[in-house]
Amino acid sequence: MTKDKQAEVMEKVREYGVRFIRLQFTDIHGILKNVAIPVNQLAKALDGELMFDGSSIDGFASIEESDMFLVPDADTFSIFPWRPSNGAVARLICDVYTPDKEPFAGDPRTNLKRVVKEAEEMGMVMNAGPECEFFLFLVDRQGQPLLHTQDQAAYFDLAPLDLGEDARRDIVCTLEDMGFEIEASHHEVAPGQHEIDFKYGPAVKIADDIMTYKLVVRAIAERHGLHASFMAKPIGGINGSGMHCHQSLWTLDGKNAFYDSGSPSQLSDIARWYTGGIIKHARSLAAVTNPGVNSYKRLVPGYEAPVYIAWSEKNRSCLIRVPAKRGASTRIEVRHPDPTCNPYMALAAMLAAGMDGIRNKIEPPLPVDANIYRMSREDREAMGIESLPGNLGEALEELARDEVIINALGPHIYTRFMEAKYDEWQRYNIEVHPWEVKEYLRRY
């Protein structure tokens, strides 16, 4: 961090009367971690001198190589609006470094920066825009979540059916106070389910924003006496929560590389090849974008979640949809990720898959405009339409065979991620629900 950036952060601290700084980073499971320091330790932190025990973070370091350093990113400084203004609390998102002052390869944020840089060397910048859904649950007297949603409202309902309106409004206001540009918020299809959409941006910033978004949603929900969960499928028989990810590539001089006014669909070769790459790697991508046993209870027919690997300009039963807007808004929407994924890892993997498509000029199959859910197995096979993995174990086997996605994660993250996920698959490969309540509602 430059001296000018350090001075800028210190000035903001003085301006807002900040007393505590939360230094945040994300583990391989997509769980936000932090350490709080008093403001008198900030100068030390800004110099990258704050040490922590990496061996205590799941998937980071072994006991014999435990020392790690947090290096704050000055551009992520933000005040927590829900904390007291007298003795304000701010946060800085950090990269993780080794004792040799080198970027730690096991840090998902650092790894995403590596993949982004590789794309930039090919002349491309990724922009992404997530649609991150969540549920609001009632809690018991001890504040523990119950499997009772706050309301029985449906898609785009409003009060009095939508009982989450006040909480959702306060979440939006808090996000805006933290610098988010909110585009829409509404009740989703399932009872107690909600969505708040914010503006797209560069991959690393959007991954940061997803982590901040999830923190804010949980914090404000708690203030309303509710528990917010990003679990993929918390309740059987109704829709689960997805994190559809809109994405596009831009040239280094600021032009949308997915748009070609001269082609029949106004989609460029780059857009087609990128789509071809996502389709080619879709089954192995699922291990990263849908990383839990519970994730695959969402990816079943009948609940608007994608199951079949296909693309279309209008068909929402496909894995990839191309929204109608063109020009600067030209993009694809990848529909299978869910909000339990680590956004740094998921964006790195999807970007790598798409760039592989561009490097090798992978043509996607013909678009499918019919409702795939209503097709017979014979019809799907005749059209070459594959399915996503049916469970986490199957997805992990696909990932183990895909060198492109393995390289996108890097050897450290890949090894630790596979160890953790195989363990989860072996422990929780059962159909009963109580473990999900205990594990996923607590963690996600």
Residues annotated as catalytic are 53, 131, 133, 188, 195, 244, 316, 333, 335
Distance CA 242, CA 370 (A): 22
What gap in Å lies between CA 310 and CA 364, rounded to an integer? 9
Choose among 71, 80, 78, 74: nearest CA to 109: 71
Token digits of residue 378: 């014979």
Q: How far is CA 70 from CA 74, 154, 317, 333, 369, in A?
A: 12, 43, 43, 34, 49
Taking a C-beta distance cutoff of 8 angstroms, is the pair 243, 188 a contact?
no
C-alpha–C-alpha distance, residues 24 and 211, integer Å = 10
Location of structure tokens 């799907």: 380
CB of 375 within 8 A of CB of 140? Answer: no
Contact 358, 276 (CB under 8 A): no
Host H or E run for residue 167: helix 165-177
Q: Which two tokens mark 141? A: 């007297």
Quote the tokens at residue 143. 């504040």
Q: Which residues of 164-195 are buried (b: 16+ CB within 10 A; e: fewer)?
A: bbebbebbbebbeebebeeeebebbbbbbbbb
Contact 330, 258 (CB under 8 A): yes
Q: How far is 271 from 59, CA to CA, in rounded Å?
A: 35
Q: Residue 430: CA atoms inside 13 Å, Cβ hemisphere, count? A: 7
Helix boundaries (H) for 224-306: 269-280, 282-289, 295-298
Nearby residues of 366 by Cβ (< 8 Å), 6 or more positions away = none
Rounded Cα distance, 109 and 130, in Å: 17
Specify the residue for token string 């300009």.
Answer: 313
**CB of 340 closer than 8 Å to CB of 231:** yes
